[in-house]
Every structure is written in structure tokens, then in C-alpha cells.
């Protein structure tokens, strides 16, 4: 390693970034998509009508649950919201075929009827993938993602040290100049949203801290998980049923009580334990989109008398509130449309930062290789993985959406097959650069991504009723906006593909400035 | 005998990743037992702080002049915190 603080930090920045860059890009991009989790889920279930929630929705939903899950010891009702206008409910069913013993359903926001839609994970898939990955144990995946996030944190800090002219470079972009342009692009994407990058990385680590940094909790609680869960998460203690039937109290007055205590804000979730039993309890949890902090505020009522048993999260202590705010900032559910838009753009800037960083490494290596006259295996490997990880992921995401539209609605294991096709498309993108070298591989994958995204609104016209012609006319802004967003992404990918496809312009300019080792390297290919 | 440069990098990497994690864990554990706060508060303060400590340890391990210094600079606070943790635990048991 070269001496000098800045040089060692430059070295650390390069390697901590490159080693995990491909995983980070996938986590950043799918995590950014997860800001639109409800919108994606709604778009992927074109059968669902968008209706405003009725005024007396809570009692309707409780009646629906009594019909759906009469013998269940546990109900959970996610209330409909403006962004996700259906009620999402699940309940424990000891006879359920899956191992966890839960069943779920989507209910109509005004009548409480069960809605049927195609089986899909929807936006939930991107949200889960960005920390649970797939085809592996979620615990292992969270450790991997946390370790990558720690590399990211180190890369950001060492990057700030390395980069001495942050504010000057903020206004510097020299396009069409090979390595210099990649460096400028990397710096602009990084500096533009630097507070966001630091925030999202650190808060990401904090969301998984009870897994990755459990030692304090283990020593302080000496393995007493129940005490810890009650202390930290405010979980209601599990009550055993009395075995005597008793009717549930009406939910209306409880919801009114909650609105009074929470300054008029609404109930996000209703959970019922032992419904129909003398020891029933009803817990109301405040809507998480209405405060920054993710610490749940909840009220626990006796399920037969309606008497308030306890209230949690009303006066959070400093550390708990700090964690709650960090968690809340990470998931961004509090953000209104404008702020959510900024979060989305910042997340995209983060993805661009990681992508340009990985490309920059490969471009530098090419230049050194051109001087030596030989391109090493490492450089080829990085170039190959860059194409598959960066250009391949949008192709995989596009394939996921196409699968959602084209797989038969009644297909067995349909939701899982959408995901299998996502990974199949990504896997093909990993093989494709073996056949097509250098720029060609980039152009083809970016171009395919552009086609997949850009043609989705057209496919909608052919296979669903929810195409732009109808959604715009009906004022279904969530789906119309999503289709327009897909067109924009398709356009952006197409524009990038087009720019990459014109090497002559970039090459000619680079030749004038730096005698273009990059261009010669490519000519030698 | 001079070792090849990659051994220094490997040594620093192990110090940074494993040594840094150990140091961060010790900070989290000492906070959890030592801070005069409600139990859950002390636990969460320590855990949230730990990631900053780990990141700082990595930066330190690669900023100092030699791999030996990296190990020494992490081992010293780790030993102090280890001693403190031992005191806190035996104090709690008494």
C-alpha cells in the first residue's frame, strides 16, 4: 500500500466498494423500488378495483374476519390506505397447509368482501429481496447484506476523505472523456445525495442490529427474549384463551378512542387475540405513515368489555426514539408524494453511484492493461460482472413484470414462478457477456431492458383492462402513474444504451485529450 | 525477512473486519451493562453506536503506517473494554 493517509483511504475506498459493489447495486436498486411497494403490488394485481375506504370500514372488516376465520386464535387486519386501497388481512389457521400456519386475503375497502386477484408477491418481492435475498435462509442473507452495508459505510467515509474537492466537483461534469467522465459521474451521484447515502446505509445497519449486534441485549437480558421483546418492541403478552365463549365488543368506539388519543390520526392495523373467547384482546396500532418514527404506538383493549388495558409507544425514551426515527427514515413510509419522489431519486443516485464506481474500476484497469499490452483475468471478470449486475438487473425486473402479465392466472405456484423468471432472466444476463464482448453486451442488455420496460404499457393494452386508455380516463392515478413511470424508465435505459452504442464520439474526444488508451484497448479486442 | 505486501493487506483486513467487530461488540456490551439508563435504552444505545465504532476501526486499521500498529491500536481499547466488561459483569453478580 502506498504511504499517506489520503492514498490509503483511496485504496480502501476502491476495494471496499468494488468487492461488494454488485450486491450493493442490487440492494440499492430493489430497495429503491421498495419505496413503491404498495403501488407495485396494486399494479401487479390489475383485478383489484380502487375504491375509497368506506366510513364504517373497521366494523365491516371485523364481521368479515368472523366469517373468514371463526376458529382462529389470531387475526390481523391491515387497514386500507390511499396508497394501498384494499384491506390486507391474515390469520392463524392451525390447519393451514404452509408451515407457518397463516392464511391471508385481500378485502374490499367498503364492503369487506374477499377480493380475488392473481397470485403474486408484488412489490413485496423487491422489499424482501433487498435484505432477505432469495433461495437462501433469510438469516444468512441478512448477515450478507449487513456485511455489505458495512463495506458501503467504509467506502462512503473513505470516499469523502479521498475526495478533497467535494464542492468544486459538484459543479464539474466533463462528458465524453472516458475515465474522467466516469469519475465525474461517480462523484456527482455520490455528492448530490451524500446525506441520503450515509443515512440509508447507517439506518440500514440499525434495522438489522438485533441480529448482527446482539451482544448487549444478550448480556443485559441474559437470554430472556420475552422480557426483551416486551421492553423493546412493546409486544403485547400472549394471553391464553379462557375456554368460555363471549362476544367481541364493537370496534367502533375503540377506533374513536384511538383517534382521540392520536390527534385524529388513523388506525393502521387491528390485531385480535382469542376472538369469541372471554379473554379476547384487541390491539389497535397507529398508521405508520403518519409519523417519522417507526416505533409502533398501540392501544390494547379488553376484547369483551372494550376497557383500555395499556398504551405503548406514547412516551418513547431517547434511544428507543432514535432507533424508531432511524428505522422510519430508512423505510420512508412517513414521506408524502414530494418527499417520496426525492427519496426515489436519491435511491437512484445511490444506484448510479455504485454502478459508476464499479465501471470506473474496470475502465482504469483497461487503461493500465493497455499500457502493459495484456488484459488480465481480473479485469475481464469485473467487466463481465458489471454488465450482468448493472444492466442485467433492470432486465430481470422487467421480466418479473412481464411474467406477472403473461403467466396464466390460475397457474399452480404462480407467485413463485414470477420470481423464478426474474432470476432466470438475470442468470441469462450473466451468461450473455460470454458471447458478446465489451460494449456490445452493454448495449444489448440495456436495450433489452429498455424494450421490456417501454413495451409494458403496450402489453397492458393487450392483456388487461387496466391500460393507460382506461386508467387515465377513470382517474386511477396509481396505475396510470406507474405505467408512465415504466415508459420513463424504458426511455432512460434506451438513452443510456444509445449513448454507450456511440463509441466513436466518446473515443474521438478521448483521443484528443488523452491519446485514448481506452479506445486502443477496445480496438485490440 | 521482509514479508510480501499482500500479507500486510490480509493482516489489516482481518484486524479491520474481525478485530473491528470484536471492538464494536465490546462497546455495545459495555454500554448495555454500564450506562445508567433503563435496560432497553442502554442496549439500544450500545448497538446503534457499535456500527460507528466498527467503521472507525476499519478506517483506523487502513490509515496507520503498519499492520502491527493496526492490531495494537485495536487491541489496546479492546483490552480496556474487556476489563471494564469483566468488572461490570462481576459487579452485577455481586
Q: What is the pLDDT of residues A227-255, one digit of tens each?
A: 888 888 766 667 788 888 899 999 999 99
**For residue A389, is pLDDT > 70?**
yes
Residue B37 belongs to some domain of the structure? yes
Number of domains forming the structure of chain B: 1
**For residue A120, is pLDDT > 80?**
yes
pLDDT of residue A513: 40
Residue of B nearest to A209 (CA): B47
Q: What is the pLDDT of residues A32-41, one digit of tens each?
A: 999 999 999 9
Q: Which residues of chain B have pLDDT under 50?
A: 93-94
**For residue A478, is pLDDT > 60?**
yes
Please report, for chain A, the start and end positions of each structural domain, with discontinuous segments joined by +.
5-44+126-192+335-524, 57-116, 207-331
**For residue A507, is pLDDT > 70?**
no
pLDDT of residue A99: 58
| A264 vs A460, higher pLDDT | A460
Return the sign of the alpha-carbon dihedral for residues A98, A101, A107, A112. positive
pLDDT of residue A217: 93
Q: Which chain A positions have a beta carbon within 8 Å of B54's beta carbon?
A: 150
Please state the rounded mean pLDDT for residues A6-15: 92
Q: How many CA atoms lie within 13 A of A90 on its CB side?
A: 8
Option in A206, A219, A320 nearest B41 (CB): A320
pLDDT of residue A53: 73
| A487 vs A177, higher pLDDT | A487
d(CA A276, CA A170): 63
Chain B interface includes A4 (CB < 8 A): no
pTM metric for this prediction: 0.90
pLDDT of residue A168: 64
Chain B interface includes A216 (CB < 8 A): yes
Long-range CB pairs of A235-238, under 8 A, 24+ apart, other chains included = A236/A271, A236/A273, A236/A281, A236/A283, A236/A298, A236/A300, A236/A310, A238/A273
Identify the CA nearest to A418 among candidates A27, A222, A124, A132: A124
| Residue A189 grid coordinates | 451521484
One-character DSSP codes across A57-126? HHHHHHHHHHHH-TT-SEEEEEPP-SSS-SEEEEEE-TT-SSTT-EEEEEE-TTT-PEE------THHHH
Please state the rounded mean pLDDT for residues A433-439: 88
**For residue A93, is pLDDT > 90?**
no
Question: How wide is the angle at C-alpha A61 spanned by C-alphas A59 and A63, nearest 5°?
Answer: 70
pLDDT of residue A351: 97
One-character DSSP codes across B6-32? HHHHHHHHHIIIIIHHHHHHHHHHHHH
Identify the CA nearest to A324 among candidates A209, A213, A197, A227: A209
**For residue A518, is pLDDT > 70?**
no
Contacts of residue A214, Cβ cutoff 8 Å, sequence gap at least 6: B47
pLDDT of residue A272: 93
Q: If pLDDT is split at 50, 70 and 90, which confidence band does A523 have?
A: very low
Question: Domain containing B60: what range?
Answer: 25-87
Q: If pLDDT is split at 50, 70 and 90, which confidence band does A524 have?
A: very low
User: How close A344 comes to chain B (CA, Å)?
Assistant: 25
Average confidence score pLDDT of chain A? 88
Cell numbers 472523456 correspond to A177
Residue of B nearest to A152 (CA): B55
User: How close B13 comes to chain A (CA, Å)?
Assistant: 10
pLDDT of residue A522: 39
Residue B16 belongs to some domain of the structure? no
Chain A interface includes B28 (CB < 8 A): yes
pLDDT of residue A510: 43
Instruction: Provide the 8-state DSSP code for A290.
Output: G
Q: How large a percentage of chain A has pLDDT more than 90?
A: 60
**For residue A162, is pLDDT > 90?**
no
pLDDT of residue A19: 94
d(CA A268, CA A356): 40
Residue B1 belongs to some domain of the structure? no
Chain B interface includes A520 (CB < 8 A): no
**For residue A385, is pLDDT > 80?**
yes
pLDDT of residue A520: 37
Q: What is the pLDDT of residues A177-189, one digit of tens each?
A: 777 888 888 988 8
Residue of A nearest to B45 (CA): A319
| B5 vs A275, higher pLDDT | A275
Predicted-complex ipTM score: 0.95
Please state the rounded mean pLDDT for residues A308-334: 89
Phi-psi map region of B56: left, alpha, beta (phi>0 left; psi -120 to 50 alpha) = alpha
Amino acid at each position: 500500500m502506498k504511504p499517506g493517509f489520503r492514498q490509503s483511504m483511496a485504496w480502501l475506498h476502491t476495494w471496499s466498494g468494488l468487492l461488494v459493489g454488485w450486491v450493493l447495486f442490487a440492494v440499492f436498486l430493489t430497495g429503491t423500488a421498495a419505496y413503491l411497494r404498495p403501488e407495485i403490488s396494486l399494479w401487479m394485481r390489475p383485478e383489484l378495483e380502487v375504491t375509497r375506504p368506506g366510513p364504517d370500514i373497521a366494523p365491516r372488516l371485523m364481521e368479515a374476519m368472523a366469517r373468514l376465520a371463526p376458529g382462529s386464535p389470531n387475526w390481523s387486519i391491515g387497514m386500507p390506505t390511499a396508497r394501498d386501497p384494499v384491506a390486507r388481512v391474515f390469520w392463524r389457521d392451525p390447519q393451514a397447509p404452509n408451515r407457518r400456519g397463516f392464511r391471508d386475503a385481500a378485502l374490499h375497502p367498503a364492503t369487506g368482501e374477499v377480493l380475488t386477484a392473481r397470485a403474486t408477491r408484488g412489490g413485496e418481492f423487491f422489499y424482501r429481496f433487498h435484505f432477505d435475498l432469495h433461495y437462501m435462509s433469510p438469516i444468512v442473507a441478512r448477515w450478507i447484506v449487513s456485511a455489505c452495508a458495512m463495506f458501503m459505510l467504509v467506502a462512503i467515509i473513505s470516499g469523502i476523505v479521498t475526495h478533497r474537492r467535494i464542492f468544486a466537483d459538484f459543479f464539474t461534469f466533463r462528458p465524453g472523456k472516458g475515465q474522467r467522465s466516469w469519475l465525474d459521474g461517480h462523484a456527482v451521484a455520490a455528492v448530490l445525495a451524500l446525506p441520503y447515502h450515509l443515512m440509508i446505509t447507517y439506518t440500514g445497519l440499525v434495522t438489522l442490529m438485533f441480529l448482527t449486534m446482539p451482544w448487549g441485549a444478550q448480556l443485559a437480558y441474559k437470554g430472556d427474549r420475552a422480557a426483551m421483546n416486551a421492553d423493546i418492541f412493546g409486544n403485547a403478552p400472549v394471553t391464553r384463551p379462557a375456554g368460555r365463549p363471549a362476544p367481541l365488543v364493537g370496534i367502533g368506539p375503540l377506533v374513536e378512542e384511538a383517534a382521540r388519543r392520536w390527534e385524529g390520526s388513523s388506525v393502521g392495523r387491528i390485531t385480535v387475540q382469542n376472538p369469541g373467547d372471554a379473554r379476547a384482546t384487541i390491539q389497535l396500532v397507529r398508521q405508520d405513515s403518519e409519523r417519522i418514527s417507526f416505533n409502533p404506538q398501540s392501544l390494547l383493549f379488553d376484547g369483551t368489555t372494550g376497557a383500555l388495558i395499556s398504551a405503548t409507544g406514547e412516551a418513547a425514551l431517547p434511544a428507543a426514539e432514535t432507533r424508531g426515527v432511524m428505522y422510519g427514515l430508512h423505510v420512508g413510509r412517513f414521506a408524502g408524494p414530494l418527499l417520496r419522489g426525492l427519496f426515489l431519486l436519491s435511491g437512484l443516485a445511490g444506484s448510479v453511484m455504485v454502478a459508476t464506481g464499479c465501471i470506473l474500476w474496470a475502465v482504469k484497469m483497461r487503461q493500465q492493461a493497455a499500457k502493459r499490452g495484456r488484459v488480465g483475468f481480473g479485469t475481464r471478470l469485473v467487466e463481465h460482472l458489471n454488465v450482468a449486475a448493472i444492466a442485467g438487473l433492470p432486465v430481470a425486473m422487467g421480466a418479473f413484470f412481464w411474467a406477472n402479465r403473461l403467466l396464466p392466472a390460475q397457474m399452480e405456484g404462480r407467485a413463485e414462478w414470477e420470481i423464478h423468471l426474474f432470476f432466470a432472466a438475470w442468470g441469462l444476463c450473466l451468461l450473455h457477456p460470454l458471447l458478446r464482448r465489451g460494449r456490445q453486451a452493454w448495449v444489448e442488455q440495456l436495450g433489452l431492458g429498455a424494450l421490456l420496460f417501454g413495451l409494458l404499457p403496450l402489453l397492458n393494452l393487450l392483456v388487461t383492462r387496466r391500460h393507460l386508455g382506461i386508467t387515465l380516463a377513470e382517474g386511477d392515478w396509481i396505475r396510470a402513474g406507474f405505467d408512465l413511470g415504466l415508459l420513463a424508465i424504458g426511455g432512460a435505459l434506451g438513452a443510456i444504451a444509445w449513448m454507450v452504442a456511440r463509441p466513436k464520439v466518446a473515443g474521438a474526444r478521448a483521443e484528443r485529450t488523452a491519446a485514448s488508451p481506452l479506445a486502443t484497448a477496445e480496438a485490440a479486442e | 525477512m521482509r514479508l510480501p505486501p499482500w500479507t500486510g493487506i490480509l493482516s489489516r483486513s482481518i484486524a479491520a473486519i474481525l478485530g473491528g467487530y470484536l471492538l464494536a461488540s465490546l462497546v455495545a456490551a459495555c454500554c448495555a451493562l454500564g450506562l445508567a439508563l433503563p435496560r432497553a435504552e442502554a442496549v439500544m444505545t450500545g448497538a446503534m453506536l457499535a456500527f460507528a465504532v466498527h467503521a472507525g476501526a476499519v478506517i483506523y486499521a487502513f490509515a496507520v503506517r503498519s499492520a502491527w500498529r493496526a492490531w495494537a491500536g485495536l487491541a489496546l481499547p479492546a483490552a480496556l473494554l474487556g476489563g471494564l466488561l469483566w468488572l461490570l459483569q462481576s459487579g452485577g453478580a455481586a
